[in-house]
Amino acid sequence: MTQRDWRIFREDYNITTKGGKIPNPIRCWPELKVPEWILKAIDDAGYRSPTPIQMQSIPIGLQNRDLVGVAETGSGKTVAYLIPMLNYISKLPRLDQSNIVDGPYALILVPSRELALQIEEEVKKFAKYNNYRVAALVGGQSIEEQAMLLRKGCEIIVATPGRLIDCIDRRYTVLNQCNYVVLDEGDRMITLGFESQLIQILESMPKENLKSTDEDEAEKQESDHRSIYRTTILFSATMPLQVERLAQKYLRRPAYVYIGEAGKVVDRIKQYVIFTKNIGEKRNQLLSQLEFGPRPPIIVFCNLKKTCDDVAKLLRDNGYRVSVLHSSKSQDQRERSLEEFKSGAVEILIATDIAGRGLHVEGVTHVINFDLPKTIEDYTHRIGRTGRAGESGIATSFLTNEDTDIMYDLRQTLEKSGNPVPKELESNPASTQKPGTIAAPTRRGETIIYIQ
């Protein structure tokens, strides 16, 4: 293929890059120059063809180049960084008694326990042929049991920032030979207030292995197979200022890969917004959607833990098999709720935003926002639990007059994606004025806009 052909190929898959000297994408898995066991693991996992983020990010990662990937939720980001990571580890000495004490070779940082445990399972599927060990360090589980895993030696750690810092502070692990780090769901970690913890972790890794800030020198270091330099991967669905600042400080000569429009809802999800006047109407609409809408598995999102419990009782009273997921549940209860939903033992998962990001459940047909979130970013991630892995999906949201915080962005999202805008949203003044602006009359009766 000519460079023009590759340009058309990227346009066809909505791939945009920047950073200079970006390698061509892969079109199929056999084009990957990786050990045979990785290709076998890909085939075993049932991934027949790479997604756009995988097409472009994996060739960059195989060059040991720092990377910022921005893609819609459900786009296959985990595999996009996992394959280069395993390829990197395959070239290092096996862990034994002489180097176990120096900690893991690679680290994946994520914002939530559920996402960490999901990624741990994905890593195990891909690493099985080489017997690489992985440990998930998350709260809600025995830190002593996690310490035992660390003492046995783990090539890869998947962790939430707080629990990893606890393990480092207690000397259960160190990061002396950890030179491959992935920040997954970077925007969510920033939103949850983990920025200072991320910086603390990155600062505890070997500084002598950082690539040069000079781009030409950094490029030479990436191709130097005699030495090891830190590779930093940052994946995010959006790129707020704090995430960009983190990338500028810790990434060297990064390549940027954008799939579609950052923060955009995938076109495969058909969105419906239904106006409801009160909680009674919401309940009736929910029962109607479950009776006449798509068949399970279905996720229902609520803003409050109490609402989750109330909705669960309503649905159980109407004969539905449901499980509940929110932060007041113990870790065992949360894992059991997810497992029941994934296995099909229950039809419906009722959850707060704890299930809104990163979690993948095969074949979710319908996402229902019993309560709309406050921000369009949370809305995008919630409904992104359906329409994954190339499948189509439906998202239904119940709108009330109290949902003014999201009305403007919700209307914009519906219009841009060609989904119907209900008249109650269209006619509400909050849908015509961006949040953070205040209309005020001047002396002449004109209107000016103040930006807060």
Does 192 fall in a domain?
Answer: yes
Cα separation of 52 and 414, whole Å?
Answer: 24
Same domain, 188 and 96: yes
What's the rounded Cα separation, in Å, for the pair 385 and 360? 7
Return the CATH number at 98. 3.40.50.300
Buried b (16+ CB within 10 A) or exposed e, 309-338: ebbbeebeeeebebbbbbeebeeeebbebb
On whether residue 18 sits in a domain, the answer given is yes
Mean pLDDT of 202-223: 92
Task: Establish if 442 belongs to a structural domain.
Answer: no
In 329-390, beta strands by DSSP E: 348-351, 366-369
The answer to the question of residue 64 being in a domain is yes
Q: DSSP assignment, residue 446? A: -
Q: How many CB atoms lie within 10 A of CB 169?
A: 8
Q: Of 259, 289, 305, which one is at a domain's C-terminal end?
A: 259
pLDDT of residue 176: 95
- Tokens found for residue 70: 């921005």
**Total count of residues recorded for the chain:** 452
Tens of pLDDT along 23-62? 999 999 999 999 999 999 999 998 989 999 999 999 999 9
Which domain, by its residues, includes 408?
269-431
Confidence tier at 392 by pLDDT (50, 70, 90): confident
Clarify whether residues 109 and 223 are in a common domain. Answer: yes
pLDDT > 60? residue 373: yes
Q: Which residue has the higher pLDDT, 289 or 71?
A: 289
Q: Are 234 and 183 in contact (CB under 8 A)?
A: yes
**Residue 355 sits in the same domain as residue 296:** yes
Q: Put the strands of the sheet holding 134-137 in their side by side order.
A: 15-18, 255-259, 67-70, 231-236, 180-183, 106-109, 156-159, 134-137
pLDDT reported for residue 262: 52
Distance (Å, rounded) from C-alpha 109 to C-alpha 302?
Answer: 26
On whether both 123 and 60 belong to a single domain, the answer is yes
State the residue for tokens 């207030």: 193
Whether residue 322 is predicted with pLDDT greater than 50 in this model: the reply is: yes
Let me know whether 238 and 302 are in one domain: no
Q: Distance between CA 273 and CA 132 in Å, rounded?
A: 46
Confidence of residue 364 (pLDDT cuts 50, 70, 90): very high
Number of domains in the chain: 2
pLDDT given at position 270: 93
| Short-list 336, 335, 423, 406, CA closest to 369 | 406
H or E, element range at 324: strand 322-325
In a domain, 448, yes or no: no
88 closest CA partner among 34, 17, 166? 34
Q: How confident is the model at residue 360 (pLDDT cuts 50, 70, 90)?
A: confident
State the average pLDDT over residues 386-402.
87
pLDDT of residue 447: 43
DSSP string, 245-266: HHHHHH-SS-EEEEESSTTPPP
Is the pLDDT confidence value at 95 over 90?
Answer: yes
pLDDT at 6 over 80: yes
Q: State pLDDT tens for residues 177-209.
A: 999 999 998 888 888 889 999 999 999 998 899
* 3-state class (DSSP) for residue 429: helix
Domain boundary among 259, 284, 317: 259
Contact 410, 404 (CB under 8 A): no
- Which are the contacts of 361, defined by CB distance < 8 A and separation ≥ 6? 297, 299, 338, 341, 342, 349, 385
Within this chain, do residues 208 and 280 fall inside the same structural domain, yes or no? no
Residue 449 lies in a domain: no
CA distance 15 to 261: 10
Which pLDDT value is given to residue 75?
Answer: 77
Q: What is the mean pLDDT of residues 232-250?
A: 87
pLDDT digits (tens, 9 = 90+) for 125-137: 999 888 899 999 9
Residues 236 and 349 in one domain: no
pLDDT of residue 449: 42
Task: Kindly indicate the confidence band of residue 390, based on its pLDDT and cuts at 50, 70 and 90.
Answer: low
Same domain, 117 and 219: yes
Q: Do 369 and 416 fall within a single domain?
A: yes
User: Is the omega angle on the peptide bond into residue 297 within 30 degrees of 0, that is, cis?
Assistant: yes
Instruction: List the single range of 70-84, 280-294, 304-318 with lowest mean pLDDT.
Output: 70-84
Is the pLDDT reported for residue 452 higher than 60? Answer: no
At 84, the pLDDT band (50, 70, 90 cuts) reads very high
pLDDT for position 444? 45
> How sure is the predictor about 332, in pLDDT bands with cuts at 50, 70 and 90?
confident
Q: What is the mean pLDDT of the chain?
A: 89
Cβ proximity of 334 and 353 under 8 Å = no
Domain shared by 287 and 372, yes or no? yes
* 438 located within any domain: no
Q: Is residue 444 part of a domain?
A: no
Q: Are residues 199 and 61 in the same domain?
A: yes
The CA distance from 381 to 238, in Å, is: 11
Picking from 259, 290, 321, the residue at the C-terminal end of a domain is 259
Confidence bin at 150 (pLDDT 50/70/90): very high
- Rounded-to-integer distance, Cα 252 and Cα 408, Å: 38
Asked if 191 and 337 sit in the same domain, the reply is: no
